[in-house]
Amino acid sequence: MHRTCFLSIIIGMIGLAWPKTFYAQDSWEKISGPVKEVIVGYDQIESSTMLFKVEPGTGDIYSYGWIPGSWKKIGGLGKTFVVADIGHLYGLSPDGAGIMQYSGKSMSWKRIGGAAAEIYGGRDALYAINPDTKDIYRYDYIGDKWSKVGGPGKMFAVGNPGHLYALGVDGSSVWKYDGVGTKWTQIGGPAAKIYAGGDKLYATNPQTGDIFRYDGQPMKWTKVGSPGKMFAVDTYGTLYGISPNGKGIYKFSGKPDTWTKTGALAEEIYAGGQFVFAKNPVTNTLWRGTNESFAGNFYSLKPIEAKRQVLAILWDPHRPDHPAPSKADIEKAIFGPKPSVKDFFNENSDYHFTIEKAGLLGWFNADKPAEHYWANKDEGDANKDGWISGHVEKWAEAIRKADSSFDFGKFDKNKDKNLSPDELSILIVIPQNNPFGTQRDVVGRENPIQDLIVDGVKVPTMVEAYIGTSPSMGLVAHELSHILLGAGDMYFDKFQPYAAGPYSLMDQSPSFPPHLDPFHKLKLGWLYPKVITNQMAPDKEVVFDVETTNEVLLLYDVQRGKKEYFIVENRWGGNSYDKNLPHKGLAIWHIMEDAKTFENLPAPVGVDASKWNEYKNQGWARNAIRMIRPIYGPPFNDALWDGSSASTGYDIMPKDPNPNHVSLKWADGSPSGFYIRSIPSPGPQMQISIEFRPNM
């Protein structure tokens, strides 16, 4: 193989994230305990993905049965393994003295070649590197013979038939095999690594780490991404990468510099067939990207990847005991840098969702004395001015005042003459010492009813925020979550042992707000759930802090389906919006997505049945989401699962004989079969043991 230097290809993936990312929440299914190495291939006869793992310690190789935890030992220790040609598994002996082919049965292997320094495989063929000359040879499995196809190279990559590539020994050039004899054509300049799959070839720039795609003509390459920790290409040419800090798995969209984040933390990734697999950076357990999302429409919730425009209208009724904060303070609290409502949404959504300032107008003075708007008008339109409620009147008044300096019409993007919250959300800010907020429909007149029309468009709804002495971020974030995200209220005015309490913005929203609960995030598409089914054998797993990883564990029984499951999240706080939580540790949530289930739950122990019936009519968010606490009450105790104390760190079982312990039960009262053991003290990483035993 020739080694020629030439002008470097300006062959750039991820800093902390790709330049552009788009929503795609995939779940990751746990399929194995710790692994040392993973081999992925493609069976061309069965048109199916082939998956093998090498066990740590023994080095034995196992094949996957495509049921989580289902693995069969098929061979012993090998130096390396590859899948090649139509779907055969090959291995290089531990001492490199022989190349072996797996027969497909039991532990049966046959020797097909002598000594090799390395072997490479793909849908094209099996290749081996001569340990002495470093020349590359191709194996003809039909004729059972080897043929030299080239000289030495730094590394090789194999794709579809006819797609064999090499990086020159000194890394100064990229080559493609012509398919005849030992003839190769130079197609690129210096590269650090090359990656092939299907009919695609990618290479990383040795100076910048940027990754480029070969465009099919010599010396023609396109930059598709910035540096990454590692890359992998599947059988169809789809490119995946891990961010340099290891905190994100991304999928290349096919459009330069446009990637989709599909997973959170990973040590290594492997691609093949139509799947991508990832190794956990702490436990080395293996996970499969499923392309099946737990996100989706649920009542008012739906996945959202967007920037939303917000108009803040500052309206002052001049109540002497409720002075107005400065406009600058309000702007900073809503639209400024951290801490702000905008940054809160950035952090919660992993930058899938944010708000932008369409305007911040006012302060506008009320037209009438404050008592006019708060007067009791039980008698209806007493003033004969078209208004029954002073509150409804003030909303219309504030919006009309803003109209003098703001063009509402330009935000009607779909030109339907109706200004939806997706196009423009209106936030009316009112001075008040104690924060309070609402979302309500607005009208231009109540008697008779008339739409509120400004600049030729109808304004149907708004949120108002009685902002607090110091502008309350929590209040604004809570109310905007209603109008922008479809979030549901979760607070109770009486004891409820399963309430979210301080662990969801939709229950408690202090000035410095806590994160949303994981179910809201899940349905909005802001989490990367790692699924552990009842099919997995007992194993250890790590739960990373949700605030920086947007990762949770999700436990479900395959036979029961996806309408009922448990979420385990690590609420660590750190320097996030969760930093003021009263406790740190594991938050465990029982989720019920079937209305027939959560609308017919009996009153929990300690809750008045008549009050419980009131709650049942107050929305899905109060009933479908239950937080399982280590200390049940009453009184309400907001402790999380924390192994530093016996009262909060005991093993969680499907059925516990200790009356002071809670257990993991389904909504019908039957034991779930899941055990969560060995709960540690809180930290950004909490390693636990998870076990499933049926009929317990």
**Residues 318 and 270 both lie in one domain:** no
pLDDT at 477 over 60: yes
Closest to 390 measured CA to CA, from 378, 401, 402, 400: 378
User: How much is the pLDDT for 381?
Assistant: 79
Q: Which residue shows structure tokens 């905008």? A: 342
In whole angstroms, give the CA distance from residue 30 to residue 285.
8
**End of a domain among 289, 318, 336?**
289
Q: How confident is the model at residue 234 (pLDDT cuts 50, 70, 90)?
A: very high
467 in Cβ contact with 325 (< 8 Å): yes
How far apart CA 529 and CA 509 sit, in angstroms, is 25
Same domain, 394 and 266: no
**Beta strands 564-571 and 585-592: pairing type?**
antiparallel
pLDDT, average across residues 11-33: 59
Instruction: Assess whether 321 and 241 both reside in one domain.
Output: no
The whole-number average pLDDT for the span 411-416 is 97
Point out the least confidently predicted range of 58-62, 225-229, 403-407, 491-495: 491-495
**pLDDT given at position 612:** 85
Same-domain check for residues 458 and 527: no
Residue type, 59: G
Q: Is residue 610 part of a domain?
A: yes
Q: What is the pLDDT of residues 118-177, one digit of tens each?
A: 999 988 899 999 999 999 999 998 899 999 999 999 999 999 999 999 999 999 999 999
Task: Supply angle C-alpha 486, 492, 495, rounded to 5.
Answer: 150
**Residue-range definition of the domain harbouring residue 318:** 306-485
**Cα–Cα distance between 629 and 649 in angstroms, integer?**
11
CA distance 226 to 241: 10
Tens digits of residue pLDDT in 367-392: 999 999 998 766 677 788 889 999 99
**DSSP labels, 338-369:** SSSHHHHHHHHHTTSEEEEEEEEEEEEEPSS-
In the chain, how many domains are there?
A: 3
Mean pLDDT over residues 102-113, rounded?
Answer: 94
Question: What is the pLDDT confidence band of residue 9, given thresholds at 50, 70 and 90?
Answer: very low
Does residue 668 sit within a domain? Answer: yes
The closest alpha carbon to 52, from 85, 66, 116, belongs to 66
- Give residue 621's identity as a one-letter amino acid code: A
599 versus 695: which is more confidently predicted? 599
Q: Tell me, what's the pLDDT at 378?
A: 63
**Tens of pLDDT along 565-590?**
999 999 999 999 999 999 999 999 99
Please state whether the predicted TM-score (pTM) of the whole model is above 0.85. yes
Q: Are residues 262 and 347 in the same domain?
A: no
Do 212 and 331 share a domain, yes or no? Answer: no
Q: Are 589 and 629 in contact (CB under 8 A)?
A: no
3-state secondary structure at position 394: helix
Identify the pLDDT of residue 353: 97
The pLDDT of residue 3 is: 32
**Separation in Å, CA 480 to CA 421, 485, 503, 603:** 10, 8, 18, 31
Mean pLDDT of 354-376: 95
Q: Are 69 and 537 contacting, i.e. CB atoms less than 8 angstroms apart?
A: yes
Q: In this structure, what DSSP letter does residue 524 have?
A: H
Q: Give the position of tokens 């003033």.
A: 383
Say whether pLDDT at 24 is over 80.
Answer: no
For residue 76, tell me if it sits in a domain.
yes
Q: Which of 254, 200, 264, 266 is nearest to 225 (CA)?
A: 254
Whether residue 110 sits in one domain with residue 244: yes
Neighbours of 694 (CB within 10 A): 11
Q: Which residues pair with 315 in a beta bridge?
A: 364
Closest C-alpha among 541, 510, 515, 514 to residue 526: 515
Q: Retrieve residue 620's tokens.
A: 């899905």
Asked whether residue 696 carries a pLDDT value surpassing 50, the answer given is yes
670 in any annotated domain: yes
How sure is the predictor about 447, in pLDDT bands with cuts at 50, 70 and 90? very high
Residues 344 and 277 reside in one and the same domain: no
Q: Please check whether residue 541 lies inside any domain of the structure.
A: yes
Domain assignment of residue 507, yes or no: no
SS3 205: coil
- Residue 44: its pLDDT value, please? 87
Residue 589 to residue 507: CA distance in whole angstroms? 14
Instruction: Sheet with 118-121: list strands edge to edge.
Output: 118-121, 126-129, 136-140, 145-150
| pLDDT value, residue 26 | 74
**CA–CA gap between residue 69 and residue 552 (Å, rounded):** 20
**8 band by pLDDT with thresholds 50, 70 and 90:** very low
| Residue 189 domain flag | yes
Residue 448's H or E segment, with its range, is none
Q: What pLDDT shows up at residue 292?
A: 78
Whether residue 21 is predicted with pLDDT greater than 70 in this model: the reply is no
- Cβ-in-10-Å burial (0-12, 13-18, 19+) of 563 comes to middle
Report the 10 Å Cβ neighbour count for 4. Answer: 10
Q: What is the pLDDT of residue 18?
A: 36
Task: Give the chain's count of helices (H) and strands (E).
Answer: 10, 46
Same domain, 55 and 174: yes
Q: Say what angle helices 341-349 and 327-335 make with each other, to 10 degrees.
A: 10
Count Cα atoms within 13 angstroms, Cβ side, for 193.
Answer: 13
Residues 454, 525, single domain; the answer is: no
**Pairwise pLDDT comparison (670 vs 382), residue with the higher score:** 670
**Of residues 535, 530, 536, 604, the one with CA closest to residue 567:** 530
What is the C-alpha separation between 685 and 543, in angstroms, rounded?
6
Q: Helices marked H in 424-515 — which ranges?
A: 473-480
The whole-chain average pLDDT of the chain stands at 93
Q: Is residue 4 part of a domain?
A: no
Could you tell me which of 197, 268, 158, 208 has the C-alpha nearest to residue 15? 208
Distances (CA, A) of 689 to 8, 150, 176, 627: 51, 51, 49, 20
Are 37 and 74 within one domain?
yes
Check which CATH number belongs to the domain holding 133 and give it: 2.130.10.30
Clarify whether residues 549 and 631 are in a common domain: yes
Of the candidates 485, 506, 528, which is a domain's last residue? 485
**Considering only 8-17, 164-173, 350-359, 679-688, which range has the smallest mean pLDDT?**
8-17
